[in-house]
Structure 1
Amino acid sequence: MIDFVPLWTVILGLGVFLYVMLDGFDLGVGILYGFAPGREARNLVMNSIAPIWDGNETWLVLGIVGLLAAFPLAFAIIIPAVYFPILVMLLALVFRGTAFEFRFRDAEHRTFWDHAFNIGSGVATFAQGIVLGAFIQGFEVEGRHFVGSSFDCFTPFSIFTGIALLFGYGLLGAGWLILKTEGELQAWARRLGFRCFIGVGLAVAVVSVWTPLVDSRIAERWFSWPNIAYLAPVPIVTALLAIWEWRAIRGKAEVAPFAAAICLFAMSYLGVAISLWPMIVPHAFTLWEAASAPSTQAFLAVGTLFLLPVILMYTGWSYWVFRGKVRADIGYH
């Protein structure tokens, strides 16, 4: 019988990473939006993501539905454990989307909607960071059920990852604005991007030390011999990417700040995957133990493998059509 778990692991991993990368940068733009120097600058910042921001959330839906369909046991444990941050995230995304639309159509209260868009972006990002931190720490499980409290997800570690993700998405957002803007607005994005980069660098260093302390098995995976030799390229490559990001933001490159930020996120994503593999419910169930029946996974794979390339092509086409610098005379209507 064909094992569909590796296929669904790739699909789910790809969906989560694309969500973090794509919706991450437009949430980052929303976080930086509150610091824009004036109304004209805010209009340009908003217009830089107007054509593509809502499509980026497609990957969130794919990730959640993929988890439910392919790994139902994991879904049944993880969702109750992080119910509150997920609820807050979804409400913040709705609030943010409402603010985006009403800002252009309710000029009388535009300042209110500006703040709503900024706050909604920040709250959604922080909530995602809480979920990430709680996931790394693991959940209290007995048998096949989550038996902890809905507030167990709020720990010093998860709160720190929430703050760290604010800086991370801010860095992605700054990279996008550097790519899409020019002149003084681009210089402003570089300044904020550098501050976010400092925050990301500190966060990566702290989490890299803190994560092995969360569970001895993670520490053994990274620091036992010969694993430490095999995995040494991960921190080395991350350090080289950090140098690239620093030089790109401080220099005149326009594509490199965004590309380097994406690569830094990819290495961080890889680091979490290495730490927890092959667990999908950390320290409780592996991918194979939490998977649905092979017949179910096979049935779902047929439709997914047909639709996924279509979604990828549509997403790529959207970015291609709206490529180039954002201008004041072309806006959202």
Structure 2
Amino acid sequence: MTIQGIDLSVIWGVIIAFGLMMYVIMDGFDLGLGILFPLISDSRERDVMMNTVAPVWDGNETWAVLGAAALYGAFPLAYSVILEALYLPLVLVLAGLIFRGVAFEFRFKAEAHKRHLWDKAFIGGSVLATFFQGVAIGTYISGIPVVDRQFAGSGWDWLAPFPLFCGVGLLLTYALLGSTWLLIKTDGMLEARMRHYSRPLTYALAAVIVVICAWTAWLHDDIAQRWFGASHGLRSALIAVLAVVAVVMIQKALRKRHSHLPFIAVVGLVFLGYLGLAISIWPNIVPPTLTLWQAAAPLTSQLFALIGALFIIPIILAYTFWSYHVFRGKVQPGDAYH
């Protein structure tokens, strides 16, 4: 739908994609800490890990709320179809986030001999939320059947090899984001451990990306055509080359003991994967058949919501930047944010 030549559906598609990308990156390293928790047994080091995100973790989830609310307001048909198709995985994601959030707050207040229970809840919640986010993404990529503008599949379509493999892939992604985030925020033995873990995690994630790309192309001829067709081959090749450069940069930065560069390179690799997903499904908002324009809300609704979004998004960006700026620097044992 357009107004004076401006396609509001495309604008809303970009806003939703941006909000979800920000969530994946910013809450990704947060969830990654819980995934890495079993590798760290020292309680003081676990406290340091938690304190690296304590001032900002709940604000990171604002981006998921923004993306979901924007989808509901701008593309209500897509919202209803996606929610029905992914109902159980999304409920499990929310359950994991609740467990993680409660554990995050209560472990600092628990008695020493009971803290291990909240640590386990933090680990379980992080793994549960991450895995089923990946399952939801894999199911979405696999395609959601729509007939007569209604979901025409089964509530168990997500229980298939490809979505489950995507769940494992997202666990590796968030773990790598978490380990490289700790290179920025910690020092000493904890930083050394994270540098050690980041190397195999990088190679494992690169292998998973290759498998997912090949699997996706094998499952969907239309996606394979978008990637390898004569008119799109150069674009796909450029993304692939940049992904290889990102992997090489991560390993080189780890060897040279850079603090910030590994995390920046991992974010770049995640962005390239996200860009590849966008290219694969465009212009569909519910692949393989429902486009942005077919699922769009009325023009007046999109315009009204857009005015509010253009007001609130800069505010979210501003307070996000400010919170990270205020709490920049290394976190030391004994520092407390609770």
Alignment of 1:78 with 2:82, yes or no, is yes
Alignment of 1:190 with 2:203, yes or no, is no
Alignment-derived partner of residue 220 in structure 2 = 215
Looking at structure 1, the residues matched to 255 and 215 of structure 2 have their Cα atoms a distance apart, in angstroms, of 29
Alignment of 1:180 with 2:177, yes or no, is no
- Residue 193 of structure 1, CA deviation: 1.5
- Unaligned stretches of 5+ residues in structure 1: none
Alignment-derived partner of residue 104 in structure 2 = 100
Alignment of 1:46 with 2:50, yes or no, is yes
Equivalent of residue 38 in structure 2, options 34, 38, 62: 34
The farther-off stretch of 74-83 and 245-254 is: 245-254
- Residue 275 of structure 1, CA deviation: 0.8
SS of 1:49 mapped into structure 2: coil
* Conservation of the 8 A alpha-carbon contact between 1:182 and 1:325: yes
- Residue 113 of structure 1, CA deviation: 0.3
Equivalent of residue 281 in structure 1, options 277, 286, 304: 286
Looking at structure 2, the residues matched to 274 and 32 of structure 1 have their Cα atoms a distance apart, in angstroms, of 31
Deviations 1:23-67 (A, max 9, x none): 011001111122113111111111111111111000110111111
RMSD: 1.0
Looking at structure 1, the residues matched to 41 and 253 of structure 2 have their Cα atoms a distance apart, in angstroms, of 23
Looking at structure 1, the residues matched to 97 and 334 of structure 2 have their Cα atoms a distance apart, in angstroms, of 28
Alignment-derived partner of residue 171 in structure 2 = 166
Alignment-derived partner of residue 138 in structure 2 = 133
SS of 1:332 mapped into structure 2: coil
Looking at structure 2, the residues matched to 223 and 261 of structure 1 have their Cα atoms a distance apart, in angstroms, of 25
* Conservation of the 8 A alpha-carbon contact between 2:246 and 2:265: yes
- Residue 10 of structure 1, CA deviation: 1.4
Looking at structure 1, the residues matched to 146 and 9 of structure 2 have their Cα atoms a distance apart, in angstroms, of 22
Alignment-derived partner of residue 322 in structure 1 = 327
Alignment of 1:16 with 2:20, yes or no, is yes
SS of 2:57 mapped into structure 1: coil
Equivalent of residue 61 in structure 1, options 61, 65, 76: 65
* Conservation of the 8 A alpha-carbon contact between 2:45 and 2:333: no
SS of 2:288 mapped into structure 1: coil
Alignment-derived partner of residue 296 in structure 2 = 291
* Conservation of the 8 A alpha-carbon contact between 2:135 and 2:163: yes
Looking at structure 2, the residues matched to 43 and 74 of structure 1 have their Cα atoms a distance apart, in angstroms, of 41
* Conservation of the 8 A alpha-carbon contact between 1:129 and 1:164: yes
Looking at structure 2, the residues matched to 31 and 135 of structure 1 have their Cα atoms a distance apart, in angstroms, of 24
Alignment-derived partner of residue 94 in structure 2 = 90
Flag as ranges the 4+ runs of structure 1 deviating above 6 A.
Answer: none
SS of 2:103 mapped into structure 1: helix
Looking at structure 2, the residues matched to 97 and 215 of structure 1 have their Cα atoms a distance apart, in angstroms, of 38
Which residue identity does 1:239 align to in structure 2? V
- Residue 250 of structure 1, CA deviation: 2.9
* Conservation of the 8 A alpha-carbon contact between 1:34 and 1:114: no
What pairs up with 1:207-286 in 2 under 5 angstroms? 207-286=212-291
Looking at structure 2, the residues matched to 255 and 114 of structure 1 have their Cα atoms a distance apart, in angstroms, of 27
SS of 2:108 mapped into structure 1: helix
- Unaligned stretches of 5+ residues in structure 2: none
Deviations 1:109-132 (A, max 9, x none): 100001110111011000000000
Looking at structure 2, the residues matched to 61 and 230 of structure 1 have their Cα atoms a distance apart, in angstroms, of 32
Alignment-derived partner of residue 210 in structure 2 = 205
Equivalent of residue 120 in structure 1, options 115, 119, 125: 125
SS of 1:29 mapped into structure 2: helix
Looking at structure 2, the residues matched to 53 and 191 of structure 1 have their Cα atoms a distance apart, in angstroms, of 25
* Conservation of the 8 A alpha-carbon contact between 2:25 and 2:267: yes
Looking at structure 1, the residues matched to 203 and 167 of structure 2 have their Cα atoms a distance apart, in angstroms, of 16
TM-score, normalization by structure 1:
0.98
Looking at structure 1, the residues matched to 197 and 138 of structure 2 have their Cα atoms a distance apart, in angstroms, of 25
SS of 2:39 mapped into structure 1: coil
- Residue 251 of structure 1, CA deviation: 2.6
- Residue 183 of structure 1, CA deviation: 1.3
SS of 2:297 mapped into structure 1: coil
Distance 1:145 1:188, change over 3 A: same
